[in-house]
Copies of this chain bind each other. A is one copy, B any other.
């Protein structure tokens, strides 16, 4: 059963892995992706990032896709933790964790989920520049292309 959490609390990787390992099943490999706030350089150097989301929609949307991944890759477990609110440079934003019998299922499903989160889950990032200005991050067309690798449909234009 996919576990989803969206909220301001920091991500504790060790705890999440322990929870995943307590799932019944023959786990052979656990893959993960942890996204962190990049500081940027020069004019685009930032001190922190604020993540906004659409609460009524976020968890349900992530759960739907996480369950799709569980079925597609026959996962033993899957955890997606996405933070919202203000996160300083170097801070954790998102953790995707999947467990499977075999490594390829775990690695591919992790890749799939993070590619989807970039374009399919209603989050928006605002960067707080060192200059004091705030700046909403623009969506990247590269992210749409990455999601399309998995035949995931990005939200319609």
Chain A contacts to B: CB under 8 angstroms: 12-14, 17, 21, 26-36, 38-41, 90, 101, 103-104, 106-107, 110-111, 114-115, 146
A40–B14 touching, CB < 8 Å = no
B residues in contact with A115, CB < 8 Å: 103
Alpha-carbon separation in the docked complex, A30 to B36 (Å): 8
Instruction: Report yes or no: B33 in contact with A107, Cβ–Cβ below 8 A.
Output: yes
A13, A41, A104, A107: residue with the most chain B Cβ atoms closer than 10 Å: A107
Q: Per DSSP, are chain A's interface residues mostly helix, strand or loop, or mixed? A: mixed
B36 near A27: Cβ-Cβ < 8 Å: yes
A112 CA to B52 CA in the complex, in Å?
A: 34
CA distance A31 to B41 in the complex (A): 23
